[in-house]
């Protein structure tokens, strides 16, 4: 078991959902805490609670990319890298983690009868997806350990 899976399992053992784990990993990497932000990502878990929405690993990973590259308020600009990173993340996720025919809903990945609780497959996907997020951020000039945005955009 690698370091990433140990981190994911530790967060899952604390009762965090897949979407929350994605953001918790990002904040850990930055050396920060933000319980309110982590709490808010619970709304994305299990396809926004019904299983028929986008997998929380994917939506949580998209939120992590936006944490670094999105517009945070007046006086900030969205990075031109955000949309290309989101597109690449979605394509990668559908190919790597998507259910039959590349479906990206929880039901497509886990099956319609899957319990609404995190499963081993969810943890494996979270670890892989966070690795992809780090890869995308780095390729686009972001330092995953640095919460400050690069100056070039």
The whole-number mean pLDDT for each consecutive block of 10 residues of the chain, a chain of 153 residues, reads 87 92 96 96 88 90 97 92 97 86 81 67 90 97 86 55
Question: How far apart (Å, rounded) are the C-alpha atoms in residues 23 and 81?
Answer: 19
Q: Report the chain's C-alpha Rg in angstroms.
A: 15
The confidence score (pLDDT) of residue 98 equals: 79
Residue 129's closest CA among 18, 46, 52, 15?
18
Q: Please give the pLDDT value at position 110.
A: 80
Domain boundaries, the chain: 3-10+18-68+79-139
Cα dihedral sign, 48-54-56-60: negative
Distance from C-alpha of 88 to C-alpha of 133, rounded to nearest angstrom: 10
Question: CA-to-CA distance for 104 and 110, rounded, in angstroms?
Answer: 10
DSSP conformational letter for 54: B
């Amino acid at each position: 078991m690698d370091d990433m899976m140990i981190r994911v399992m530790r967060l899952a053992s604390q009762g965090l959902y897949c979407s929350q784990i994605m953001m918790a990993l990002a904040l850990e990497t930055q050396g920060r805490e933000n319980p309110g932000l982590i709490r808010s990502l619970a709304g994305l878990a299990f396809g926004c609670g019904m299983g028929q929405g986008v997998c929380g690993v994917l939506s949580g990973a998209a939120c992590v990319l936006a944490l670094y590259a999105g517009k945070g308020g007046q006086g900030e600009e969205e990075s031109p890298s955000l949309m290309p990173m989101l597109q690449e993340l979605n394509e990668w996720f559908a190919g790597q983690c998507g259910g039959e025919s590349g479906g990206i809903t929880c039901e497509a990945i886990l099956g319609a009868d899957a319990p609404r609780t995190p499963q081993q497959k969810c943890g494996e996907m979270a670890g892989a997806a966070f690795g992809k997020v780090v890869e995308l951020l780095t390729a686009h000039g972001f330092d995953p350990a640095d919460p400050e945005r690069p100056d070039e955009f």
